[in-house]
Amino acid sequence: MLLIIKGHSFRFELENVCRLFLPQEKISVNENEADILDNENIIAISELSSNDKEWLLNTKLVYGGSQDTAIERVLKAEKGAGDDLERRLAVQLYYSFVKLTGFTLPWGAVTGVRPVKLMRRLIKEQGNEEAVRWFRDALLVSNDKTSLCLDTLNVENDILSLSRRESFSLYISIPFCPSRCDYCSFVSHTVERAAKLIPQYVDCLCSEIEYTGQIAKNIGLRLETVYMGGGTPTTLNAEQLHRIFDAIEKSFDLSFLREYTVEAGRPDTVTQEKLHAIWGAGVTRISINPQTLNNNVLKEIGRRHTAEQFYDAFSLARKCGFININTDLIAGLPGDNPKSFSNTLEGIFKLSPESVTVHTLAMKRASNFVKHRRENYSGGLQSAQMVNTSIERLKEEGYRPYYLYRQSKTLGGTENTGWSKPGFEGLYNVYIMDETHTILACGAGAVTKLIHPDTEYLKRVFNYKFPYEYNSRFDDMIQRKGQVISFYETLFSKT
C-alpha cells in the first residue's frame, strides 16, 4: 500500500489507521503523487491545505478497484479546530476504508495502545459525560467498547490510588522458552538453541538485580509489585529460580510488597520442584497459560503441550497452595473457531481461576505465521465473535475487566483484556499499562521506564535485547542504569 501525505505531518496517525484495516500490508509513505506505481492497487492520499479563513481536508482512497473521496472545510475561527486536524484527517481516512471494505471496527478510529488511559484523561479534562460523547462521536468507538473501557477504568481507579510518589515496580526478564510458538513475536530463545547461555545469564541477572536494588535503596524508592516474565521463567530449573529469588529478597525491601507474580506460562515447564521454589519465595500470583484447550489448535500453532498437561499443571499449583492463578487465552488462533473457543472458556470456568486474560491474535512480522505467509488463520469477524463471547461469559461468571490494551495488527481490531474476580486484579499489569509509576527492569530485552510522578514525563532505559549480548556486554549495560540515578537526582533537586 502507498500512503501519500501532502501539506501536513500526521504520518504516524494515518499510517496506524491504514494498519487497522490492513494489518499485514506493507505501507510505504511518500509526499509526491508521482511516486505512484502502476502495480500499486491500494493508494491513500491525505491532503491539508488552507487559506486565510479555513482549512481544507481532502482524502482519497483507492482500494479493490473502487475509489472514495472525502472533503471537509474547517473554519479557523472555530474554537480548538487547529488542534483537531489530525483526528479529522484520521476519521476521514477511516470512513473511506469503512466504505470500501464494508468493515466497521469496534474501536473506531482509535489507534493507540491505551484507550483506558485516554478515557481517563478526557474525563479529567472534560467530565464523564463529555468524554463518553467524544469517544462515541468523535472517535467512533462502539457503545460496547466504550462501556468496556469505562468498566475497566472504574476497577483500575482503586488500584491506581494505591501508588505513591516513591512507588515503583520491578520486572525480571527470563527470555527463554522450551520452544517458540508460531504466533510469538517476542525476543525469546528456545532452550534447545540457548541452553549454554543460561548459566552465565543467571549470574549476570543476579548481579543486575543486586545493583538495581542498591540504586532503589539509595534513592528511597518503595517496591509495590514484582513481575517475572519472559519468555517462560519456568524454563529455568528450580536451582536457578532459587538463585534469582534469593537475589531479589537480598537486594530489595519487600516489606511494602503488594504483589509478586511469576509467569509459569507453558504448562509443560511446570513441575512440583519449581512450584515449591516459587511458593517458597513468597510469590503471591502465578500465570499458567494454555492459550486454548483444543489439542488440534495447540499442535497447529506449534505449542508443544496438551490441554491435559495444562489441567495437570493447574491442579499441581493448587495443591502447592497457590490461591491466585491467572490463565491466558488467545482469540483467533489458526484452526480455532467460535464453538471451539467457547468450549475452551467453559473448560477454564470449571477450574475457576482467579483471573483470565483474553488476548486477540496479532499478526506480527516477527512471528512464524507472517514469516511463512500462513493464511489459514481465523478471520477478523470470527475473532471478534470470540472476544464478544468471552466478555459475555466472563461477566456472567463474576469476573470484572481490570486492565485493557490494544495492539496493532490484531484480527478484527479488538483488544486484550485482563479479567479477575474482585480482589484478584493483577496490580503490575495496571501499573505498567497506565504508566503509573517507575518500572525498574532487569534482564535481556527489559526496558526500565522512569516516570515523573507529577508531569508523567517518561524516560526509557533499554537493556541489550539478546541474551548473548546481555552476557557479553554486561558491564556496558550496567552503566546505563546510571540514568536511573541521574533521573531521580534531577527530580528531587526540583522538589
Asked whether 329 and 290 are in contact (CB, 8 A), the reply is yes
259-265 vs 325-331, strand pairing mode: unpaired
Q: Looking at residue 291, what DSSP letter applies?
A: B
Judged by DSSP in three states, 466 sits in coil
Q: How far apart are CA 298 and CA 182, in angstroms?
A: 10
- List the Cα angle 136/139/144 in 5-degree steps: 40
Grid cell listed for 350:
470449571
Give 463's DSSP letter: P
Fold of 158-480: pyruvate-formate lyase- activating enzyme (3.80.30)
Least confident piece of the model among 125-134, 224-233, 370-379, 389-398: 370-379
Residue 35's pLDDT is 65
Is 435 in contact with 117 (CB distance < 8 Å)?
yes
What is the C-alpha separation between 48 and 4, in angstroms, rounded?
11
Distance, CA of 344 to CA of 355 (rounded, Å): 15
Indicate the DSSP class of residue 193: H
Tell me how crowded residue 225 is: count the other CB atoms within 10 A of its CB.
Answer: 27
In which element (H, E) is residue 355 found?
Answer: strand 355-360
Judged by average pLDDT, the poorest of 167-171, 183-187, 398-402 is 183-187
- Identify the three-state secondary structure at position 24: coil
pLDDT at 378 > cutoff 60: no
The alpha-carbon radius of gyration of the chain (Å, integer) is 24
Q: How does the average pLDDT of the chain come out, rounded?
A: 92
The three three-digit cell numbers of residue 216, written as one number: 532503589
Task: Extract the C-alpha cell encoding 27.
Answer: 505501507
Taking phi over 0 as left and psi of -120 to 50 as alpha, with beta for the rest, 33 belongs to alpha
What is the CATH architecture assignment of 1-103? Answer: 2-Layer Sandwich (3.30)
Distance CA 42, CA 100 (A): 11
pLDDT at site 181: 67
- Position 336 scores a pLDDT of 94
Cell, residue 484:
536511573
Region 39-51: mean pLDDT is 91
Mean pLDDT of 420-426: 99
Looking up cell 456472567, which residue turns up? 396
185: confidence class by pLDDT, cuts 50, 70, 90: low
Say how far apart CA 19 and CA 25 lie, in whole Å.
Answer: 7
pLDDT, mean of residues 321-339? 96
- CA–CA distance from 453 to each of 36, 74, 162, 189, 388 (Å)? 47, 38, 13, 35, 36
What pLDDT is attached to residue 178? 84
Q: Where are the alpha helices (DSSP H) in 107-173?
A: 115-126, 128-133, 143-160
Q: Is the pLDDT of residue 75 over 50?
A: yes
The domain spans of the chain are 1-103, 106-153, 158-480
DSSP class per residue in 76-125:
TTSTTGGGGHHHHHHHHHHHHHHHHH----TTTT---S-HHHHHHHHHHH
Element (H, E) at 482: helix 482-493
Would the pLDDT of 214 be above 60? yes
pLDDT tens digit string along 450-460? 999 888 899 99
CB-neighbour burial class of residue 47 (10 A; exposed 0-12, middle 13-18, buried 19+): middle
> Which residue is associated with the grid cell 479529522?
88
Residue 376 has pLDDT above 50, yes or no: no
Residue 427 confidence (pLDDT) above 90: yes
pLDDT 10s digits, 165-180: 999 999 999 999 887 6
Amino acid at 79: K
What single letter denotes the amino acid at residue 19?
Answer: R
Reply yes or no on whether the pLDDT at 104 is more than 50. yes
Amino acid identity for residue 340 in this structure: S
Q: Is residue 415 within 8 Å of residue 360, measured between CB atoms? A: yes
Neighbouring CB atoms inside 10 A of 159's CB total 19
For 65, phi and psi rounded to 5 degrees?
80, 0
β partners of residue 330: 359
Query: 9: which 3 cell numbers?
Result: 505531518
Say whether 247 sits in a helix, a strand or coil: helix
Instruction: List CB contacts of 238: < 8 A, sequence separation 6 or more.
Output: 271, 273, 274, 276, 277
Q: Check whether 494 has a pLDDT greater than 80.
A: no
- Band of pLDDT at residue 39, cut at 50, 70 and 90: low
Task: Please tell me whether the peptide bond between 379 and the residue prior to it is cis, using omega within 30 degrees of 0.
Answer: no
Q: How confident is the model at residue 325 (pLDDT cuts 50, 70, 90)?
A: very high
Q: Residue 183 pLDDT more than 80?
A: no
- Residue 335 gets the label, from left (phi > 0), alpha (psi -120 to 50) or beta, of left
CB 292 within 8 A of CB 336: yes
pLDDT of 38: 64
Amino acid at 460: R
Taking only the tens place, the pLDDT of each residue in 292-319 is 999 999 999 988 899 999 999 999 999 9
Predicted local confidence at residue 372, as pLDDT? 42
* Interval 387-400 mean pLDDT: 99
Count, residues in the chain:
495
